[in-house]
Structures are given as C-alpha cells and as structure tokens.
Amino acid sequence: MTNPKEAAPKATGHTQRGQCSKRLSILDAAAEVFCREGFAGASIDEIAVEAGVSRQTIYNHYREKETLFTAVVEDVMNRTNASLFSILATFPGTPGNLEDDLTAFAVRLTKNCLCNQDGKILRKLVQSEGERYPQLFEGWRKHGPGRIGTALAALFARLSHGGALQMDDFDLAARQFLALVNADLQMLMLFGESPTAEQLDNAARNAVHTFLRAYSAPAANPATRLPMRADSDPRRTGQA
C-alpha cells in the first residue's frame, strides 16, 4: 500500500521488477486482503493474484498462512511506528499560538498515522484477530497507542510546566486528546472511507478547541472562556 510498487492487480504472471520486491508486493497485497476479508476469509490464491505473483512464490517466502499474517502485521506496525516517531518530532519547541500548533499537530497525526491506509489496516486486524494472537496485540499496544500516549503525555507535561496548560494527570489528558480527535472521525473510519483534508481539519479544530477549554491555563489563552458565540473561525463547528 505504502511501499513503492506497481499496482497492477492482475498481471498475468511474468516479470515486473527485481526479484526481491516480490516480498513487498506480497506483503502489501496480503495486508489489503487480510484487512478486507479477515484472516479466515482471505485465501492465498486471492493474495497471489492481487500481488501479481504465483501462489508458490508466497509459500516460498512465507512458509504458511500464519507466518504471512504475522509478517504483515509486523510490517504495518513498523511503518506506522516510524511515521509516528517522525510526527512526534514535529511539534514546535517554542510554541507560537498553542491552539494552532495543537491543531496542526493533530492533523498530521491523523493524516499520517491514524487515518491512513496503514492505520485502517492495523485497527481492523487488531480488532478482528487480536484476541487470537495475544503476542501480536501486545506488540501493538506497546508500539502503537501506548507509545503515542506516553509521548503525548510528555508533551503536555512540558506545556504544563511552561504555563500554557493546567492539568494534574498527563496520561489522562493524552488519552482524552486522542479521543477528542477521533470523536468526529471514527464513524467515517468504520465506513472504510478515509476522511478528506477538510474533515481532518475540522475534526482537529473541534478537538483542540474543546481540549483547550478544559485544560488551558486560566489567564494564558484567549480561547478559554466566555467568547463562545462570537468566534473568529466560522467553520469550526459542523459534522466531520
């Protein structure tokens, strides 16, 4: 999905590129099919066709279906983890406007980690097969939302220490921040649709606005109290 490859879904068979890019084709196709059909519903032949690869090639690289499945999960998890890291580093060290900074940060987070194809695949696989593969689930918990949670908590601790926010439980605030960001998005994601840039922006704006009303330090921020109705941004509201 994210890997650079030719997307020809039904190449009749022969040569398309170097021999080792087949692994990537297989992983991507398998991720797609596992996500769409579930582990039990996905057939190796379907994956082979979608990858433009012979079935035997799949069995050569990954001994059996389960091996392929865990390889897919690890692959998606690694990619998501990497992009997570790079996003977390983008929050400005010396903030200008806190609301704008947080909003832009939330947009980057949703666009590149939570709502992209990898995020969708990961969420669906964890939900549908997580109970059957506890070790896989544990890895996701540590590398995915676990890491994002603690990183966010650290960010909020920094902002609180600097006087911009006021809270007594950073982990709780991190969980609530993520929950608020998802509030307008999760319905969309269940539908399998990926939100438009405008929907992402609205969702982030709504989330951050409410978050800051709850957590911004008393005198520090203009968006804190009262000005409720006369709002500078007319499209802050509205269903995502």
Contact footprint for DNA (CB under 7 A): 12-15, 17-20, 22, 42-46, 52-57, 59-61, 63-66
Question: In whole angstroms, how far apart are CA 170 and each of 49, 103, 219?
Answer: 48, 18, 20
Residue 179 CB, nearest approach to its own copies (Å): 4
Which one of DNA, its own copies, none interacts with residue 192, CB within 5 to 8 A by kind? its own copies
**Under rule CB under 8 A, which residues in 137-176 are in contact with its own copies?**
137, 141, 145, 166-169, 171-172, 175-176
Length of the chain in residues, anyone? Answer: 240
**Angle formed by the axes of helices 44-51 and 65-88, nearest 10°:** 50
By the rule CB under 8 A, 95 interacts with its own copies? no
Q: How far is the CB of 233 from its own copies (least distance, A)?
A: 12
Site for its own copies in 13-72 (CB under 8 A): 36-41
CA gap 177, 153 in Å, rounded: 10
> Nearer to its own copies by C-beta: 36 or 158?
36
User: Which residue, 54 or 221, has its beta carbon nearer to its own copies?
Assistant: 221
Nearer to its own copies (CB atom), residue 82 or residue 187:
187
Q: How many CA atoms lie within 13 A of 57 on its CB side?
A: 20
Encoded tokens for 179: 């929950």
Residue 239 binds to its own copies (criterion: CB under 8 A): yes
- CA 62 → CA 43, 67, 71, 72, 209, distances in Å? 14, 6, 8, 10, 48
Stretch in the footprint of its own copies (CB under 8 A) among 3-11, 101-109, 110-118, 188-196? 188-196
Q: From the list 14, 20, 96, 131, which residue makes contact with its own copies (rule: CB under 8 A)?
A: 131
What CA–CA distance (Å, rounded) separates 110 from 91?
Answer: 14
Paired with 216 in beta bridges are 165
H, E, C per residue of 55-79: HHHHHHHCCCHHHHHHHHHHHHHHH
| Residues contributing to the site for its own copies (CB under 8 A) | 36-41, 124, 126-128, 130-131, 137, 141, 145, 166-169, 171-172, 175-176, 178-180, 182-184, 186-187, 190-192, 206-207, 210-211, 213-215, 218, 225-226, 228-229, 231, 237-239
